[in-house]
Amino acid sequence: MPAKTILLVEDDREIRTLLSDFLAGEGFEVDVADGGETMDRVIARRSPDLVVLDLMLPGEDGLSICRRLRARGDVPILILTAKTDETERIVGLELGADDYLGKPFNPRELLARIRAILRRAGGTPAEPPRRRLAFATFVADLDARYLETTAGARVPLTSAEFDLLACLLERPRRVLSRDQLLDWTRGRTADPLDRTIDVTMSRLRRKLETVDSAAGVLITTVRNGGYLFAAEVREA
């Protein structure tokens, strides 16, 4: 298998060099950029499999870059941010980032999160049959990891959004707590105070409603309980 390509967007030269050398030593192809303009030139030469994006950048800030990356495609994005800056972290997730990591951090944790995102984004089945579940006017392929309408149009979801949808589809009409959803989608990296489930759920709802506004309420919020997938789920 060819090595995965990581694009590291970080203006601090020392951190950039340290992380680049570390990730290269773990078998990745690593491209680096110190800001938005350099990033655009790098992407024009080679499309990355994942972008590690610092939010505190000179010139164009990381949130603006995140917005541009998500507008042009579904490349996984892991944002780096100050641990205490919850607002920027939440905004980054709302813009479509797949995960975040607070500074300072252990490079080994960064590596674990990168590998987890790439597994989620690139998992495909070795052979048929694949697990396909249908609901309303949608069909989700849980092994090939995509969502489409029954007419065959793909619905663009980030890996985090698809993970959450898969959890709901495999447990329809059950109240699932935020802690359960965090555990199933994030595992050991989950923080009990993590609000990313709510942010990701909001994004997922908007996308489903935008594609099929006539489907009614597919995901309901249960007060003091969590979330429930209300639609009928069937094998496709």
Among residues 89, 138, 81, the alpha carbon closest in space to that of 110 is found at 81
Per-residue confidence (pLDDT) for residue 144, from 0 to 100? 84
Residues of the chain by 3-state class (helix, strand, coil), percent to 5 = 45, 20, 35
Q: Report the alpha-carbon distance of residue 53 to residue 69 in Å, rounded.
A: 10
Among residues 45, 43, 101, the alpha carbon closest in space to that of 75 is found at 43
Residue-by-residue pLDDT tens, the chain, 236 positions? 578 999 999 999 999 999 999 999 999 999 999 999 999 999 999 999 999 999 989 899 999 999 999 988 889 999 998 766 677 778 888 888 999 888 888 888 899 999 999 988 874 433 445 689 999 999 999 888 899 999 889 999 988 899 999 999 999 999 999 888 888 777 645 555 567 888 999 999 999 999 988 888 899 999 888 999 999 999 98
- Which residues lie closer than 8 Å to 3 by C-beta, 6 or more apart? 27, 28, 29
Residue 149 phi, psi dihedral angles, 5° rounding: -80, 165
Stated pTM of the model: 0.59
Q: Report the alpha-carbon distance of residue 75 to residue 89 in Å, rounded.
A: 18
Per-residue confidence (pLDDT) for residue 125, from 0 to 100? 35
Q: Which residues sit opposite 234 in a β-bridge?
A: 134
Residue 143 phi, psi dihedral angles, 5° rounding: -90, -45
Per-residue confidence (pLDDT) for residue 83, from 0 to 100? 60
Q: Report the alpha-carbon distance of residue 120 to residue 158 in Å, rounded.
A: 10
The residue written with tokens 């506004």 in the block is 213
